[in-house]
Amino acid sequence: MSQRVLSRLSRPSALRTRAGVLAAGLGVSMAVGAGSAFAATSGGDVHSGSPVTAAAGSVHQQVTTVGAQDAKDAKKAAAKKAATWTGPVKKYTLSATFGLGGSRWSHKHSGQDFAVPIGTAVHAAHGGTVVKAGPNGAGDGPAYGNAIVVKHGNGTYSQYAHLSKVQVKVGQSVKTGQQIALSGNTGNSSGPHLHFEIRTSPNYGSAVNPVNFLRSVGVKV
């Protein structure tokens, strides 16, 4: 057989071989691509630099940031709420409680007593305006001794009694924590202490539990 004939016969074989190689290569590429798609959709390993991973990381970061900010805002709000009120004295021992009965009172005890030495600084529990100040319970009766009543912007009133010295006047504005008096033992008192009330009006008879109220505004006593 001539060389030319052999050459013609070998061409189809070469073409078939080349096509086979290309098909095999295409099959490998398709297989690899399918494997990657499978990994992405079935929870398999995905390269950390892929768009899917980056997006997931971004969402997680945003959720974490929002959660942390919410917690921070809540903590700040609680601190701000507590900062607007304070206890009337710094160091004390709680003595007679609200609602306590006994021969010392014509009715049940209308406030919370803070046992402190005479001359202890007494502070305004909240900012407001002095509406009562002076002897004879500042108008509420001699049992209170020297007393002060402060009106607050939220419609409540605080009262401070048995004082040794009154340091504010009616009509005066006071700030939260401002010193307004010195504690004493005046009026119907069995020993040095501060009698403290939270009222719904400036007058005797409208008192509510002061400890519960203070706790509701973030002050623990």
Active site residues: 193
Neighbouring-strand partners of residue 181: 122, 166
Q: How far apart are CA 24 and CA 20, in angstroms?
A: 6
Q: How far apart are CA 159 and CA 164, in angstroms?
A: 15
Q: How far apart are CA 115 and CA 189, in angstroms?
A: 11
157-163-165-169 Cα dihedral, nearest 10 degrees: 20
Q: Where are the beta strands (DSSP E) in 44-199?
A: 93-94, 112-115, 121-123, 128-134, 146-152, 157-166, 173-174, 179-183, 194-199
CB 210 within 8 A of CB 143: no
